[in-house]
Structure 1
Amino acid sequence: MSKSINSPFRYAGGKFYARNLILEHIPAHSYYIEPFAGGGSIFFAKEKVENNWLNDIDEALINTYLIIRDRPEELIKYLEGEQATKERHAYYKNEFTPQNKLEAAARWFYLNRTSYSGIMKPQNCYWGYGDKYSMRPENWPRNIRRTSEKLQNVEITCWDFEQVIKTAPDEAFLFIDPPYFNADQDKFYTHSFSRNDHYRLCEMLKGHKDRIKFLITYDNSPEVRELYEWAAEMHDKEWNYTINRTDDQKNGQKKAQNFKGERYKGKEVFILNYDSCALVPQESIQLDLALLF
């Protein structure tokens, strides 16, 4: 499968709503790499190319990717009959101890699909499922199968980003989506990203800028702009998105009170080391909101 699909996961900080904006800036390439794959929204949205590589430092996430790629039917069978309930969420979060990689992937997948915004850090991994906005368990098999199909022949690793950038072949294109520079990202991710890591990433990209192409998305801050003043282009980007709360998160607000999801505006800077003026726009994609909430 090379066509556009949605990410199989809910992922805090993912680029679900910014996908079309990002796709517009991606150049032609035959080798695609994501050093910070996360939910992989851009990989799943774009056409697969000859060589594709997803990487993330989160071992539990990468294990789940590998199980979906290599053992999808076993994962589907393990999750068969599961219900999305607070009780099962609490069980998988607090009591269940995986005995193997398959069970670890099942636990991760269940919690990701039923936790608010897919946040997996234990201290902030809260129940966040609602039938109206979330993918129902009976639809998980379809999600897993189509994800597995797209992941076939994709390299999947759990490395530090520096190793990925050093290993990337000449002329590869890297979509780079690190944690924000000025954000309390420790709330969302199981692995922290220090200020020194941001500096290290900048130096790595600067050192390899003449042999690879990259698009990096960051919070639009003076510090980031100064760090990457050497880059070829910077584009200020904004997009609208809505977060719908589940029934349990509405704190008793009723339909009669005209309760609606909160509206937000995403603001980032896209940083490129190539000329984007001559790019051919890629086909826009439709949003499947049930996959996000």
Structure 2
Amino acid sequence: MKKKHRAFLKWAGGKYALSDVINTMLPKGNRLVEPFVGAGSVFLNSDYDEYLLSDINQDLINLYRILQRTPDKFIKDARRLFSPENNQAERYYQFRKEFNASADPYFRSLIFLYMNRHGYNGLCRYNKSGGYNVPFGKYKRPYFPEIELNFFAEKASKAVFICDGYRQTFSHAKPGDVIYCDPPYVPLSKTASFTSYAGNGFGLDEQADLANAAEEVTNKRNISVLISNHDTIWTRKIYEHAKKQRSIEVSRTISQKANKRNKVSELLVLY
């Protein structure tokens, strides 16, 4: 049995648990293109010769590029932040303030990882001004993901990281590529909407446009596209032209209360 690899970032909607199922639906190809790479679980647990990994979150892409170029230095510097004296609310909020005031990519990458592991429930969220605003998480001993960082850095030799929207990322795809899309999911209720992890929302118009983009790239350039989302009447409708649909039940992991982590249906559609 092939060993599965966890992402070094905690991530709402991460695909570690679903990576096996996703791999069974991903067609063979030379390169996997991901317009919504997130924490990179599909990248880490798939086997393509090359990867084009994109996200609109500039902090995320800067972190990946730095880890790709100077893994030993970055891991050594990041490890210093994971200490008991830094696992306090006062220190966390000071780091968050310095992060929001800084334009230095290396410093922001270090603090981004620190806040991801010390912040509330692994959320990544910005306010409308672009300020990171996730509160302190109150964990006893935040885990430093050294093994996961090293594996990511090693596999990143196959990858190119870009910060772009999904339409722009689609434009880079060529015959022989496979595209996997893991967009912010359609909310299951009016109070469940969480689409602003990079400072700008991903609403129903964008959801429908992504489905259109998948259909276009499949028809015009003969490139396969796999998309994951919540299984709802609305998503079934916008993906009606996909050649294959598969519904699976998954456990919800964003709630801190175990009794509220109900199973929900997710949809995987292949164009």
Category of TM-score, reference length = shorter chain? 0.7 to 0.9
CA RMSD of aligned residues (A): 2.4
Conserved 8 A contact 1:17-1:241:
no
Offset of 1:219 from its aligned partner?
A: 1.1
Structure 1 partner of 2:123: 119
> In structure 2, what is the Cα distance between the partners aligned to 1:9 and 1:221?
28
Q: Structure 1's 203 and 241: CA in aligned 2 closer, same or farther, altered over 3 A?
A: closer
Q: Structure 1's 129 and 25: CA in aligned 2 closer, same or farther, altered over 3 A?
A: farther
Within the candidate set 243, 252, 263, 1:265 is matched to 263
> In structure 1, what is the Cα distance between the partners aligned to 2:146 and 2:250?
31
Structure 2 partner of 1:203: 212
After the TM superposition, which residues 110-259 of structure 1 pair with which residues of structure 2 at under 5 Å, given as runs?
A: 110-122=114-126, 125-128=134-137, 130-131=139-140, 134-135=142-143, 137=144, 140-182=145-187, 183-186=192-195, 188-210=197-219, 211-240=222-251, 245=256
> Which segment drifts farther, 55-64 or 68-77?
68-77
Structure 2 partner of 1:87: 90
Offset of 1:23 from its aligned partner?
A: 2.0
Offset of 1:79 from its aligned partner?
A: 2.4
Structure 2 partner of 1:285: none
Q: In the alignment, does 2:104 pair up with 1:104?
A: no
Conserved 8 A contact 2:55-2:164:
yes
> In structure 2, what is the Cα distance between the partners aligned to 1:170 and 1:215?
15
Offset of 1:4 from its aligned partner?
A: 4.2
> In structure 2, what is the Cα distance between the partners aligned to 1:229 and 1:204?
14
Q: Structure 1's 198 and 187: CA in aligned 2 closer, same or farther, altered over 3 A?
A: closer
Q: Show CA shifts across 1:184-208 (max 9, x none).
A: 1236443311322222212111111
Q: Which has the higher contact order (CA 8 A, sep 6+)?
A: 1
> In structure 2, what is the Cα distance between the partners aligned to 1:196 and 1:243?
25
Offset of 1:67 from its aligned partner?
A: 0.9
Conserved 8 A contact 1:174-1:213:
yes
Unmatched tracts of structure 2, length 5 or more? 128-132
Task: Kindly tell me the number of residue pairs found equivalent between the two proteins.
Answer: 254
Offset of 1:102 from its aligned partner?
A: 0.8
> In structure 2, what is the Cα distance between the partners aligned to 1:142 and 1:17?
19
Structure 1 partner of 2:49: 50
Q: Structure 1's 144 and 88: CA in aligned 2 closer, same or farther, altered over 3 A?
A: farther
* 1:110 counterpart SS class: helix
> Which segment drifts farther, 102-111 or 10-19?
10-19
Equivalent AA in structure 1 for residue 73 of structure 2:
E
> In structure 2, what is the Cα distance between the partners aligned to 1:192 and 1:223?
18
Offset of 1:226 from its aligned partner?
A: 1.0
> TM-score, length-normalised on structure 1?
0.78
Conserved 8 A contact 1:243-1:262:
no
* 1:214 counterpart SS class: strand
> In structure 2, what is the Cα distance between the partners aligned to 1:45 and 1:117?
23
> In structure 1, what is the Cα distance between the partners aligned to 2:134 and 2:114?
12
Structure 1 partner of 2:130: none
* 2:213 counterpart SS class: helix
> In structure 2, what is the Cα distance between the partners aligned to 1:119 and 1:44?
20
> In structure 2, what is the Cα distance between the partners aligned to 1:213 and 1:224?
19
Work out the percentage of aligned pairs sharing the same amino acid: 25
Conserved 8 A contact 1:93-1:122:
no
